Amino acid sequence: MTEFGFRVPDFPVDGSTGPAFVDQFVETLHILNRQFKSAWVADHFIPWANFQDQTTDTYECWTTLCYLAGLFKDYTFGSIVMSQSYRNPALIAKMAATLQALTGGRFVLGIGAGWKQDEYAAYGFEFPEPAARIHQLEEAVQIIRLMHTQTRASFAGKHYHITDAICEPKPQPAPPLMIGGGGRQLTLKVVAKYADWWNFPGGTYENYKSLLDTLRVHCDKVGRDYNSIVKTWGNETVAVAPTHQAALAMAQASPFYSPDSSVVGTPDEVAAQLQCFVDLGVQHFILRFADFPKNDSATLFVKEVLPRFRA
């Protein structure tokens, strides 16, 4: 069955602050509750400069996940995606095990190499070249795996190491490990070797199909069953309205609108666009709605689009 997740907004887009912004995304989560399978929180400290004033309120990923997971008992929650640079991987493993235990298994650990250079600089993190960050990611996911499965875990890598690290209670089951990114030479190789889930943040149908072809090649090279990896497509803006013109106007008013990859149209048109990705093998969509903090698009999606993927 195709599942859907809600991308919890990183920051307000209408000038709201603090509690008002929290009320906005909590209201949307209530509307989608028991309709959408999951909810996802990004790992950023400041907004994207091209979308919003960087002094706009932005909530930290892990704290937000814990708050929402306690508030909503029917969602699976995930990070989309945590930067491996921002927290020691052994600490990430411990945090993930704890959250998985406290939520009764409702957590997906999304992790990536990290990319937001201005954020690294502002918070004092080193920002090595992309290849080095991806090698750090590969070591980080190995450490997380070891700590979730071994009584005492040790690992000695170029970037990270642990010695007899204990992580109790063990997560039962271990949270799925979702690796985000689309680098063809390095990142998708790490996905093929270690990921339970793979996330790519939107993009065109043609590009996504090409990335899947590359992932299949990497899986063949490392002896991994390509079909064992849950494919997700997400972070994209959905604008659904009774008419195409109304949906397009809604989409174009969103700071996240992309003419190449946003999903725009009537319920029939939106369902058809998403079905193309389902036919490629996408099992889980992670979506934001163009009219947030309004909920017209979310409400119509639940009423008119979602049932087509439940049949």
Q: What is the pLDDT of residue 54?
A: 82
Indicate the range of 43-52, 132-141, 159-168 predicted with least confidence.
Answer: 43-52
Assessment of whether the complete model's pTM goes beyond 0.85 = yes
Distance (Å, whole) CA 43 – CA 38: 16
Residue holding tokens 């307000």? 12
SS3 79: strand
Helices and strands (H, E) in the chain, number of each type = 10, 12
| pLDDT tier for residue 51 given thresholds of 50, 70 and 90 | low
- Residues above pLDDT 70, as percent of the chain: 99
Distance (Å, whole) CA 11 – CA 5: 18
Average pLDDT of the residues in 259-266: 94
Indicate whether 162 pLDDT > 70: yes
Average pLDDT of the residues in 189-218: 96
Token pair of 142, please?
Answer: 């190995």
- Annotate 163-196 with b (16+ C-beta within 10 A) or e (fewer): eebebeebbeebbbbbbbbbbeebbbbbbbbbbb
Indicate whether 53 pLDDT > 90: no
| pLDDT tier for residue 246 given thresholds of 50, 70 and 90 | very high
Q: Give the pLDDT confidence of 206-244 residue by residue, as tens digits.
A: 999 999 999 999 999 999 999 999 999 987 899 999 999
Q: Which domains does the chain have, with CATH numbers?
A: 3-309 (3.20.20.30)
Q: Is the peptide bond before 267 cis (omega within 30 degrees of 0)?
A: no
Average pLDDT of the residues in 138-158: 98
Task: Indicate the residue type of 254.
Answer: S
Q: What is the pLDDT of residue 259?
A: 92
- What is the overall mean pLDDT for the chain? 96
Gyration radius (Cα) of the chain, Å: 19
Q: Give the pLDDT confidence of 79-121 residue by residue, as tens digits.
A: 999 999 999 999 999 999 999 999 999 999 999 999 999 999 9
Q: What is the pLDDT of residue 263?
A: 97
Q: Give the pLDDT confidence of 267-279 residue by residue, as tens digits.
A: 999 999 999 999 9
Q: How many CB atoms within 10 Å of residue 7?
A: 25
The DSSP H or E segment spanning 61 is helix 61-71
